[in-house]
Amino acid sequence: MSSSRHRRRGQTSVEVLFIIGIILTGIVIITPSYLDENRSASLVTYVRNSATSACAYLNSGAITNDNQYRVLNRIITASNYTSKSFRVVSVKSSESGDTITINVRIEYSGKIDLKNGGIAWRIKTFITRDLVAHSDAKLSGGTLYYGDKKVVIKVKVVRA
């Protein structure tokens, strides 16, 4: 009886090792794609927060000498220091190879004596600088990187 008991224990041990092997293989297969999705979602969240912060600053109608917001000051002076109700309408991302593209759409009301391209460029510059300062994004040679991915941010600003 002793030998059959050892054989059952041995078989049970092999079965447990087999099950653990299957679980570990599943983790190895699933984890990298999950981490990539998590990285993209984090990046979109960072961009949305930065764009929302830019809109809140622009809606204040007041200028500060804080270096972080300096690029946005020209928009406020062009709006004659009045609130223009800037708001983030959408943030969408797409991924192709090693590049993540994030499209940000912002609407505002009223008239600003500054071409829309100038507004979009200033907000994009603010978002890029904010990402570098407050996330794991890096700026290298004018190109933004988040992890091993190149990041392209496109900002479209339209009057509502």
Q: Where do the domains of the chain lie?
A: 2-159
Q: How far apart are CA 137 and CA 131, in angstroms?
A: 6
Task: Record the tokens describing residue 96, joined without a space.
Answer: 């192709």
119 CB-near residues (< 8 Å, 6+ apart): 75, 108, 112, 157
Q: What is the pTM of this model?
A: 0.77
Burial letters 24-41, b for 16+ CB under 10 A, else e:
eeeeeeeeeeeeeeebbe
pLDDT along the chain (160 residues), means of 10: 61 77 75 63 92 94 90 92 90 93 95 80 96 93 92 94
Q: Are 151 and 91 in contact (CB under 8 A)?
A: no
